[in-house]
Amino acid sequence: MRTAPTATKGNSRSTAGTRTLHFVPPNLTAFEPLKPLFPSADVHTLLWIGGLFDTLLSVAYPLEIAQALPATWSLATASLGSAGKSWGVGSIAQDAEDIAKIVAYFRTLRPGGKIVLMGHSTGCQDSMEHLVGPPSPHRPPVDGMILQAPVSDREAMASHLPEALLHEANQLALKMCREGHEKDALPYRLTKSLFGRVAVTARRWVDLATPGGADDYFSSDLSEERLQNTFGRLPARTPVLVLYSGSEENVPSTVDKDALVRRWIGVIEAGGGKVDGYHGSIVPEATHNLNGCPESIVRDLVQRVVGFVGRLDNGDFHTESKM
């Protein structure tokens, strides 16, 4: 898509038909695929946030969601500063600040519309950080959150790395942070088997790989106190849809997915938050990002998302769960 951008104050948009690339200075973008929209400033936005290594359209199913959404809803895939291979030198706090800027942009663009965050993989951690991480009260509010494949990076890394190598990397990263070298990259020999040629700072490794790290939202061994300070603080004005992949390849076999999701939902509801228990929970046979999944599985995910935004439109949220 190569068209001249139409400048607006503080941002610009390049359009081709109804495809739009939104630019949010200094280095953020959001892409809206081809979709007929109801012409109104009240259009609602589903903002999709990818995970580690994700770039615009590296995950296919958002395109299916975009086409299936009602004419008053549009999907935009966000490209944060940490997109692609840049995540290793970023942080979840910076991701949340980037999301806040994009949300603020769409609030200005569509002042009467709702905004829902849809995180995929580590994009789920980013979405949670936007809502409950400091200084969340000062970030622009959103009207809903979808967690698709909300897996623990810590548990995934532990299941893919030899225990001795993980221990060595953790200890070195912690030492580097203590000694003021948190922005320096870990040795390549410690990270290459998992991440290839990606620079990973000591702080980013600690946040991802150690218990209680900044990214540690979804581990199965977290305490009730930890969950109450995250899931339990989700605002009632932001209903949640959890879509955990039934054939998730990044979760240890010892994790009971159903029990884990029920535990999160219980904490959300105990804290006064709202959950879509009708459309949520486990998506049978879905893999982590659904790339390559049969059409029926992708369609199942898409229908759940469409059902969730329909309930938002109808104001049809209660605290009961169908699980």
Q: Which CATH class is domain 21-152+217-314?
A: alpha beta
CA angle 84, 86, 88 (to 5 degrees): 115
* Helix, strand, coil percent values for the chain (each to nearest 5): 40, 15, 45
Long-range CB contacts (< 8 A, 24+ apart) of 259-268? 260/220, 261/323, 262/323, 263/227, 264/227, 264/231, 265/321, 265/323, 267/224, 267/227, 267/228, 267/231, 267/232, 268/231, 268/232, 268/234, 268/240
Give the whole-angstrom CA distance, residue 61 versus residue 281. Answer: 18
Q: pLDDT of 255-301, one tens digit each?
A: 999 999 999 999 999 999 999 999 999 999 999 999 999 999 999 99
- Percentage of residues of the chain with pLDDT beyond 90: 85
Choice between 4 and 22, residue whose per-residue pLDDT is larger: 22
Q: pLDDT of 178-221, one tens digit each?
A: 999 999 999 999 999 999 999 999 999 999 999 999 999 999 99
12 half-sphere exposure, CB direction, 13 A CA radius? 9
Closest CA to 202 of 179, 178, 183: 183
The single-letter DSSP state of residue 194 is H
The single-letter DSSP state of residue 86 is G
- Percentage of residues of the chain with pLDDT beyond 70: 91
Interstrand relation of 11-16 and 6-8 (parallel, antiparallel or unpaired): antiparallel
In the structure, what pLDDT confidence band is assigned to residue 137 with cuts at 50, 70 and 90? confident
For residue 323, pLDDT beyond 80:
no
For residue 235, pLDDT beyond 90:
yes
For residue 7, pLDDT beyond 60:
no
In the structure, what pLDDT confidence band is assigned to residue 11 with cuts at 50, 70 and 90? low
DSSP reduced 3-state for 71: coil
pLDDT given at position 13:
58
Interstrand relation of 44-49 and 28-32 (parallel, antiparallel or unpaired): unpaired
In the structure, what pLDDT confidence band is assigned to residue 136 with cuts at 50, 70 and 90? confident
Do 126 and 96 contact (CB within 8 A), yes or no?
yes
In the structure encoding, which two tokens stand for residue 77, read together? 């895939």
Give the whole-angstrom CA distance, residue 119 versus residue 143. Answer: 14
Cβ atoms within 10 Å, residue 213: 20
Q: pLDDT of 72-126, one tens digit each?
A: 999 999 999 999 999 999 999 999 999 999 999 999 999 999 999 999 999 999 9
Q: How far is CA 216 from CA 129, 147, 244, in A?
A: 10, 15, 17
Average pLDDT over residues 228-244: 97
Average pLDDT over residues 114-142: 95
Do 106 and 23 contact (CB within 8 A), yes or no?
no
In the structure encoding, which two tokens stand for residue 305, read together? 């998302």
Sequence ranges of the domains in the chain: 21-152+217-314, 157-216
Give the whole-angstrom CA distance, residue 118 versus residue 30. Answer: 13
What's the whole-number average pLDDT of the chain?
91
pLDDT given at position 42:
85
Which residues in 13-33 are b (16+ Cβ under 10 Å) and which e? bbeeeeebbbbbeeebbbbbb
Q: pLDDT of 17-67, one tens digit each?
A: 468 899 999 999 999 987 767 777 689 999 999 999 999 889 999 999 999
pLDDT given at position 34:
74
Cβ atoms within 10 Å, residue 196: 10
pLDDT given at position 156:
96
Look up the pTM and report it.
Answer: 0.92
Give the whole-angstrom CA distance, residue 115 versus residue 119. Answer: 13
Q: Which residues contact 114 (CB under 8 A, 6 or more apart)?
A: 44, 45, 143, 144, 312
DSSP reduced 3-state for 13: strand
Helix (H) or strand (E) holding 147: strand 144-148
